[in-house]
Amino acid sequence: MEPKKNPQLDLRRNSLLYFFVGMTLVLLMAYLALEWKTYYKADSWDVSQRVDEELIEDATILKIKIPDPPKPKIQAPPKIEIAENDEDITETFIEPNDVNQDSKVADIEDVAVAEEEITEEIPIVLVENAPVFPGCENEKTEEDKRDCFQAMVQKHIRKNFRYPDPAKEMGLQGRVSIMFTIEKDGSIDNVRLRGPHKSLEEEAARIISKLPTMKPGQQRGVPVKVSYSLPITFKLN
């Protein structure tokens, strides 16, 4: 059976060839468009090519005249006028305040020296003569008396120590810091306490209140107030 159409008239016969030819023409036109260059005949507008390599700036130098500093003012010396000696001038006599050399100087034995009163508290480590706890009178040196004082205070605490019942029930324990003053008459006063609970502080105050009267401390031979501090530790077994 013969085909109905003429093969010579079929448009799809050379379609691939036409496609490559068209693509080649399009690429060629695009290349020419990108590489196309034009040049101006005159270069009068290209001012940048006519700039000199070295630019010399013509700086104008201005000379400014500074005014002279002001001259110091010299005051004229005071004019001294000589008065005529017509009137009699009475000069005032000033009596000297010098000590009379004929006065008798008192003897050193007759001069009374006022004793300086020491009112503030002195720590036991700084006082010249520390307070003496009863039973430490026979110690010879000052250092031995201080050591005996501390030993007797610790012995007094151990003897009178009693754990408070409320503190036991609540399981309270800790350290109470104590500071007290040994007065000029040897009595105990001005007790200050700081502890973890009031019941422990009250027990520490009770122990300190039972301290005996001591021989007071002395500074330059004068009885003075002496401060002493120590801790009492409350610990449950």
What are φ and ψ of residue 50, in 5° steps?
A: -105, 10
Average pLDDT over residues 54-59: 54
pTM of the model as a whole:
0.49
Q: CA–CA separation, 9 vs 51, rounded Å? A: 70
β-strand partners of 192? 179
- Parallel, antiparallel or unpaired: strands 226-234 and 122-123: parallel
Rg (CA), the chain: 59
Average pLDDT over residues 111-121: 63
| Domains contained in the chain, CATH given | 122-234 (3.30.1150)
Residue 138 confidence (pLDDT) above 80: yes
Burial 109-147 (b: 16+ CB within 10 A, else e): eeeeeeeeebeebbebeebebbbbbeebeebeeeeebbe
| pLDDT tens digits, 3-50 | 556 666 666 677 788 888 889 999 999 999 888 877 656 555 454 455
Average pLDDT over residues 168-192: 91
More confident residue, 164 or 49: 164
Pair of tokens at residue 164: 């408070």
Predicted pLDDT at 183:
93
Which residue's entry shows tokens 């706890």? 133
132 three-class SS: strand
Residue type present at position 137: E
